[in-house]
Structure 1
Amino acid sequence: MTGRILHVYKHFRPTFTGEGVFLERLAPVMAELRPDVAHEVLVTTTPPPPEAPSLAGIADIHYLASPETGAPQRDIVRWLARNAERYDVVHHHTHVDRTFLGALQLKLKGRRIVLSATLDDSLQGLLRGYRPAFRPLVRRLFGLIDQFVAISPRLHEENLQVAPAGKSALVPIGIHIPPEGDVSAAAREKLGLRIDAKVLICVGGLCRRKDQLFLIEQLPDLVRETPELVLVLVGPDVESDYRSLLQRRVDELGLAAHVVFAGHADEPWDYYRAADLMVFASREEGFGTVVIEAMAHGLPIVARRLPGVNDTFVDHGVSGYLYDDADAYRRFVAGLIADPVGSRTMGRSGRAFVAARYRIEDIAARYLELYGFAPNRHAAVAPLRASVSPGPYTDAEVSAAGLKVRAQ
């Protein structure tokens, strides 16, 4: 084995996070591009499950926490110091080494350190988590980090306020681009959805930040215009009390026939294939992977505007709509439902844009380069599993169409 990378998370399976799911999908691609580079995971807060998960592309998962509490700082530092020589690179996907003692141990042993910003944890955001008197020292300690990575332009700009440009990189989330085809009927039959329904899909953990309540509250007006409308919420119950609130509002508004709680789906591809459009109400995102996944499946988007995040890949009026208030949301959704031809045109534009810019193979290669391992770009990477035949648009046509979409 030529190299070994350690990925550090607070939360990992069986606790689902967007960053953790992304690594699960990215690791097999990195392994195909560089099979001589191994990837392991260190988990500091999620307690170990009864049976450790076996994930493609990930050689081992180390859980530090006890079932009762997360690992204290001293345990994290000790583990990193004890195991530093096993790894060439340690990639912190979250800032768990708050004392920087672990980073100091790693640097003394010549290891490369990467730190990601994925939500509200840009370097500016992390500095705000320290007392004002300590912030000048923390700024200097950030110098121990070799490479800072941000997944959105907003986070990247915030990183650049603290770190030099040469140490800061913008690397977005990457996804598998599925074959295109008209598969809604087969997917709806598989999922038990009516063939004649108008299906809105929202993918994401059920929690206040994702604001699925907003989507439910807007349904009565939309259902009056389109009685066959169904909102499918795909995602785990991240906050159980919030899940109960959502169910209560569905019952109070008489929407039981119009809302489906689908639960968590490791591979939500059939839900995308079954949908007419993607709706997204999240109030804060580092990126918004599920939105570009929906776009890759040819769905037009109606999402809450998040400046510097989703306005970099949802081209308002071309591949979807970004709303700022409830009236705009209802107007955009109703307009797309009433205009299926225009909706499909938007979906094709979005798919072309994503196919040209967010292929997981390209993102995996970028990470390998940041780690110091040149990727084998001639490696054959397995495509997204799909049970459908390619539709009337070939991948070459989609890629070519992507050149015609307006740059963001």
Structure 2
Amino acid sequence: MKNNQNVCFVLGSFPPLFTGAGQQALSLAKELKKQGVNVFVITTKAGACQKEEDIEGIKVYRLAVNSSPCNKGLDFAPKIFVALFQKRRQYDIVHIHGACTPFTYAAILAARLFGKKIVVKLTLFGDDDPYSLSQRRCGKIFLRVLSWVNRIIGLSEVFRHSYLKTGLPSKAYSQIPNGVDTQKFSPLESLEQKQKSKKQLGFDLNCKILVFVGAICKRKGVDFLVDVFSRVAQNDQSVSLVLVGPVEDEDYLTEIKQKVHQWGGDKRLVFIGKTDNVEDFLKIADVFVFASLREGFPNALVEAMACGLPVVVSNIQGITEAIVASGQEGFLIPPGDSAAFTVALTKLLSNEKLASQMGGQARRKIEKKFSISSVAERYLLVYNDLLGVKLYE
């Protein structure tokens, strides 16, 4: 198979910034490059990042924008248009990650004017899925611009239903989930290795670890997780909750710490913050917990499952239920049901055999359905189709 595609990824944030969409874009870009696709990225510049740099083998161009969240998208829009014009001979396809910001539509317009193929990946249900976009003040305009897109990618069935409700052409829709690097995110080979890693990371060898990965914010339901943890921890003195990810709201974090302090659990609630080694904490954990209220496709969930962890997660219709079979790889809990969440955690923490069985099933499911290599192959089929490339020559 010949892969001669030149693809420009466009997105608002990219590593080293900690966002699920950015991390997924990097993983996909690396895998596409392995399969012969020339991929480069245009994104925003933040902090000490260079205007041009190489991130794990992927060329990244960063555009300086207003740092205010309200103005960032508006500032990025005209700059992305100019950048796509300047680099128009370097790409055949513009692959845009996210559909709810001004730069999305600037990139679509630019690609259309320059005669390039356009792929838009939807990233957050309830935010940038087509039906949600159609309900906004300029909904008809959004849908009109989306009708110019050659292929829209949804992450699960709920995105497809949303897409079809708007009357956009069904032939322009493809469904491809996010993928995970199953080599990077994999279980440790033995209990001895797990104990050694625990010690290296500063954890007691006998502690049981609940782990959450994601931004520390209200949408991710971290306060709910901490409330559930307080119930479990007061009945099991060996349990700790480890929170891995950047803090989006310092006041929110302070409230969480105060709650834990009230029952004396300060030393058992561990804040890791942003780290480039998320997998290290997943590999030493016993259960992955996730209580997000709204998602597109939770990367942290599939990464945890790839590491062989049983999971206890909120049942977000069409999202988490498309990944986890409750009772097989873990438990799906009705959102906000702290009692059911507590029961599920207690069951897994008190039954090592059950936890091991569910963790093993989780790993096998990820290898079969959500590996980044298989996801990249599906994107290759989309790119080939848009460019009229014969698969075998």
For this structure pair, what is the TM-score category when the shorter chain's length is used for normalisation?
0.7 to 0.9
Verify: 1:124 aligned to 2:131, yes or no. yes
CA contact (8 A) 2:14 2:26 kept: no
Give how far 1:333 is off: 0.4
Does the residue aligned with 1:185 lie in a helix, a strand or coil?
Answer: helix
Alignment-derived partner of residue 155 in structure 2: 151
Alignment-derived partner of residue 261 in structure 2: 251
Verify: 1:86 aligned to 2:96, yes or no. no
In structure 1, what residue type is equivalent to 2:59? A
CA contact (8 A) 2:80 2:103 kept: no
CA contact (8 A) 1:149 1:170 kept: yes
Verify: 1:62 aligned to 2:59, yes or no. no
Verify: 1:10 aligned to 2:12, yes or no. yes
Give how far 1:264 is off: 1.5
Within a 5 Å distance, the mapping from 1:5-404 to structure 2 comes to 5-34=7-36, 37-44=37-44, 46-47=45-46, 49-52=48-51, 53-66=53-66, 70=72, 71=75, 73-95=77-99, 96-97=101-102, 100=105, 102-119=107-124, 120-131=127-138, 135-162=139-166, 163-178=168-183, 179-180=186-187, 181-182=189-190, 183-324=193-334, 325-372=337-384
Cα distance between partner residues in 1 of 2:94 and 2:46: 21
Give how far 1:297 is off: 1.3
Cα distance between partner residues in 1 of 2:275 and 2:208: 21
Structure 1 residues 262 and 21: alpha-carbon distance in aligned structure 2, compared to 1, 3 A threshold: same
CA contact (8 A) 2:85 2:110 kept: yes
TM-score in terms of structure 2 length? 0.87
Cα distance between partner residues in 2 of 1:141 and 1:100: 7
Structure 1 residues 122 and 269: alpha-carbon distance in aligned structure 2, compared to 1, 3 A threshold: same
Cα distance between partner residues in 1 of 2:194 and 2:379: 34
Structure 2: 5+ residue stretches without partners: none
Deviation digits for residues 89-113 of structure 1 (CA, Å, limit 9, x no counterpart): 1111123447946534422332001
Structure 1: 5+ residue stretches without partners: 378-408
Give how far 1:137 is off: 4.4
Does the residue aligned with 1:261 lie in a helix, a strand or coil?
Answer: strand
Aligned length: 371
Taking every aligned residue pair, what percent have the same amino acid on both sides? 26
CA contact (8 A) 1:336 1:342 kept: yes
Structure 1 residues 247 and 224: alpha-carbon distance in aligned structure 2, compared to 1, 3 A threshold: closer
Does the residue aligned with 1:157 lie in a helix, a strand or coil?
Answer: helix
Give how far 1:48 is off: 5.8
In structure 1, what residue type is equivalent to 2:95? H
CA contact (8 A) 1:85 1:109 kept: no
Deviation digits for residues 154-206 of structure 1 (CA, Å, limit 9, x no counterpart): 12221222322211111101112245422321221111111111111111111
